[in-house]
Amino acid sequence: MLKALIFDMDGVLVDSMPFHAAAWKKAFLDMGMKIKDEDIYAIEGSNPKNGLPLLIRKASKEPDEYDFEIITSIYRQEFERIFELKAFEGMGECLELLKTRFLLSVVSGSDHLIVHSIVDQLFPGIFDIVVTGDDVMNSKPDPDPFLKAVKLLKVRPEECIIVENAILGVEAAKKAEIYCIGVPTYLKPSQLDRADLVVSDHKKLMEHLLNLESILKFRA
């Protein structure tokens, strides 16, 4: 029986990844490095501790040569300066309806302050559990963030669905052995082909979510 829905935040609930990408690019440029949008989207879902080494290597540099705290501080300042808060159209209303039927959780690789600020402003009182990149040692693609949400929701993995838009997020969902719906917000659909179901856009995503009992069968 399906009991809980677990959502990634950036790119699923909020159209925020272009701002994250711009902020990371500014931070890297200030440190004398260049990275591309596609490099950032490829590691979406990881926290800075795990994601920064990958990005620094993409810039053909060695992670040990850089202070992660300085890079992250520049990123946060720039993100706060440029970010325009915007939920995907219809998502708030969709979540209100889903809340009457399921437990709801956010699992994001972004830091605690950013995640809670966005959730509190756009979706107050909607989510039962919020797990951020600061709440786990191992970020996506490790299953730990999703398994922590499952534990806090007091449900079993087979009683959940994860909604993800990121490659690492889908990988983490599969490692956690949880059914995953992929929405290719900033990627090609083929890049999320490990998901159990890939929908074309947010309109289709919300249609599926509001009709879950009629389109999916879950293990008891």
Whether residue 208 sits in one domain with residue 140: yes
pLDDT band, very low/low/confident/very high, at 113 (cuts 50, 70, 90):
confident
* Residue 190's CATH number: 3.40.50.1000
Whether residue 208 sits in one domain with residue 113: yes
Which residue shows structure tokens 């994250």?
Answer: 20
Residue 76 to residue 147: CA distance in whole angstroms: 27
pLDDT band, very low/low/confident/very high, at 213 (cuts 50, 70, 90):
low
Average of pLDDT values for 185-192?
94
Query: What's the number of domains the chain is made of?
Result: 2
- Would residue 8 show up in a list of annotated catalytic residues for this protein? yes
Catalytic one among 8, 10, 111, 142? Answer: 8
* Domain coverage including residue 41: 17-82
Whether residue 25 sits in one domain with residue 61: yes
Whether residue 39 sits in one domain with residue 117: no
Q: Mean pLDDT over all residues of the chain?
A: 93
67 within a domain of the structure (yes/no)? yes
Whether residue 142 sits in one domain with residue 112: yes
pLDDT tens profile 143-181: 999 999 999 999 999 999 999 999 999 999 999 999 999
* End position of a domain, from candidates 36, 52, 82: 82
